[in-house]
Amino acid sequence: MLQGGVLAITDNVVLSLNEVLNVVRVVKNEAVEEINPMIVTQASSLSSLPVDSLSIDLVTLISKSSDFSGDKLFEEFSRVLKPGGEIFIYQTSDVAKETVKSSLERKLLVTGFSDIQVVQKAEIQSFGIKGKKPAWKIGSSFSLKKPVKSLPKVQIADDMDLIDEDSLLSEEDLKKPQLPPVGDCEVGSTRKACKNCTCGRAEEEEKVQKLGVTMDLENPKSACGNCGLGDAFRCGTCPYKGLPPFKLGQKVTLSNNFLAADI
């Protein structure tokens, strides 16, 4: 049997108790003779309901006009209903247009009602739309239980043949790379030959010294024509390597710090 309060709202001037009980009987499909509903008439101008929040189990809206009850009044329906409470809109107009049904369904959805369905029975002349307020309250929280996924177990048999990783390496892979000696001219920071020079730079420096390089280098000559352009263009065995750029046939002057020995 229906427990709790029932609120009946209408835009009519008068609404009989029997009419309200008939509508409630259609919604609940049970005996409702002992129900004492609260009836609010001429409610088309209301913006709020004189009812406490979360105190009503069922709200019935009985209306002839298709545009009765605005969005604000629908919010009031949700406010006064208990969690899990129901609402039933009974449209008594002669023409039950599909646009009216869609409009009422949309208002219920926007307000937050669920389980919305159209009710058409012989007991009611036109049609009705039923909805339900969710059982949870706004702002309530609950934890979600996530399924625990266990990793697949890998079983290795004792008699399984395993490959030795070292056997996949060849003799070339096991050889250590040969690094150039630290004192080599190619890795040194200076341009002059280092001790124990093996790249040939020491021999080239000796050739330059044999030319009698002094503060003045008279009439330099080049076999390739690039000696005067600088070290970037000179050959690896160029006797002028290390000297500043010069023009062939002209006198080359060396600065004092160029002839100073590196420490």
Q: Which residues pair with 39 in a beta bridge?
A: 8
Task: Check residue 44 and report its DSSP letter.
Answer: G
Domain range for 44 is 5-132
- List, for residues 53-70, the tens digit of each pLDDT value: 888 999 988 887 766 666
Q: Which residues are annotated as a binding site for [4Fe-4S] cluster?
A: 224, 227, 235, 238
Assigned domain for 138 exists: no
The pairing of beta strand 81-91 with beta strand 5-10: unpaired
List, as residue ranges, the binding site.
Answer: 185, 194, 197, 199, 224, 227, 235, 238
C-beta of residue 27 within 8 angstroms of C-beta of residue 2 = no
Helix axis angle for 71-80 and 98-111, nearest 10°, is 50
Supply the DSSP string of 11-35, one letter for each residue: SSS---HHHHHHHHHHHH-S--TT-
What is the CATH classification number for the domain harbouring 71? 3.40.50.150
Instruction: Give the mean pLDDT of 208-224.
Output: 58
Whether residue 176 is contained in a domain is answered as no
- Whether residue 125 is found in the same domain as residue 217: no
The domain boundary, picked from 132, 147, 173, lies at 132
Q: Is residue 157 part of a domain?
A: no
Q: Is residue 63 part of a domain?
A: yes
pLDDT of residue 132: 92
In a domain, residue 220? The reply is: yes
How high does pLDDT run on average in the chain?
A: 75
Q: Write down the pLDDT at residue 189.
A: 47
Is residue 162 domain-resident?
no
User: Residue 228: which of 214, 245, 203 has the closest Cα?
Assistant: 245
pLDDT digits (tens, 9 = 90+) for 92-126: 765 556 777 888 888 888 888 999 988 876 655 56
Q: Which of 112, 132, 152 is the last residue of a domain?
A: 132
Please say whether the beta carbons of 23 and 62 come within 8 A: yes
Q: Are residues 101 and 23 in the same domain?
A: yes
Percent of all residues in the chain with a pLDDT value above 90, rounded to a whole number = 4
Write out pLDDT tens, residues 15-37: 888 888 888 887 777 666 677 88
What backbone torsions phi and psi does residue 172 show, to the nearest 5 degrees? -65, -35
Bind-site residues for [2Fe-2S] cluster: 185, 194, 197, 199
**pTM metric for this prediction:** 0.48
